[in-house]
Amino acid sequence: MKALVFPGQGAQFVGMGKDLYDTNPVAHEMFERANEILGFRITDIMFNGTDEELKQTRVTQPAIFLHSVILAKTLDLKPDMVAGHSLGEFSALVASGALSFDDGLKLVSARAMAMQKACEVKPSTMAAVLALPDEKVEEICGSTTEGVVVCANYNCPGQIVISGEIEGIDAACARLLEAGAKRALKLKVGGAFHSPCMEPARAELAEAIDHTQFHTPVCPIYQNVDALPHTDTAEIKGNLIAQLTAPVRWTQSVRNMIADGATEFIEIGPGKVLQGLVSKIDKAVAVSGHQ
């Protein structure tokens, strides 16, 4: 069975999507439609901007979404199941028919703006932790008193991203290294995604989702919040809202997809991060990508 997976924030690069725009008429039309919807020429930043311009959350999230969704449209692959890492969940929903292209882009833009605002409320960040058991990372995060710290991304065995207030992250990183972590490295991100620090963005995203029409997807989507397959639109919407402050259970999602019959994972969108993670989770499955 074929599983399509879609990357999240951090996979962006200058020049992303330009070949598609230049060579495929359908892609060209979709990119121009996106410029209209967003009210600025995101294609100029994607194709010819600077790394700094592309790193702004309000640009990064729609850019990765557009690259992934438009590429998927031109490939016309028929998935048996889909999943996306954080932001990638919105790409997966469009690819599975649960959201229209226009509505998906509007939601991603609203999400990006809400998250940007939440990042500005309180200084916060994220850090990658390597080579410690999940339980040990959870224990240290839970016992940190210097500020909010939680596990945000369960990426693959031995790789967790933690998220929270800067003081808490600094303290937790020091303890994680003492406990034997190979690395506890702060990431260059705008804030503490998938943590309670994103609470101010939840209401804004919830309102946008409530006013958006969702359709029953053509195949199950394995959602980040519980790593389980969903086709019910009410459940999908609730999980999308909860995702902002809850961890991304990527390891569990991939394992559940494999248990349910996935034998081939195809990453659609910029970069190869998810291909690497899937291979670390289970070396036996076939992994490939289109970017």
Cα three-residue angle 171-172-174, rounded to 5 degrees: 70
Task: Name the catalytic one among 86, 96, 109, 253.
Answer: 86
Q: How far is CA 252 from the centre of its chain?
A: 15
Task: Name the catalytic one among 194, 195, 230, 253.
Answer: 194
86 an active-site residue? yes
Paired with 222 in beta bridges are 83, 229
109 an active-site residue? no
Which of 57, 244, 271 minimizes the C-alpha distance to 42? 57
Distance between CA atoms of residues 28 and 33, nearest Å: 9
Q: How far is CA 62 from CA 35, 79, 255, 261, 282, in A?
A: 10, 23, 28, 31, 30
CB–CB of 251/155 below 8 Å?
Answer: yes
Which of 248, 128, 133, 131 minimizes the C-alpha distance to 181? 131
Please, which residues have CB within 8 angstroms of residue 1's CB and are 6 or more apart in sequence?
Answer: 80, 81, 260, 261, 262, 263, 264
As a whole number of Å, the CA-based R_g of the chain is 18
Instruction: Give the residue numbers marked as catalytic.
Output: 86, 194
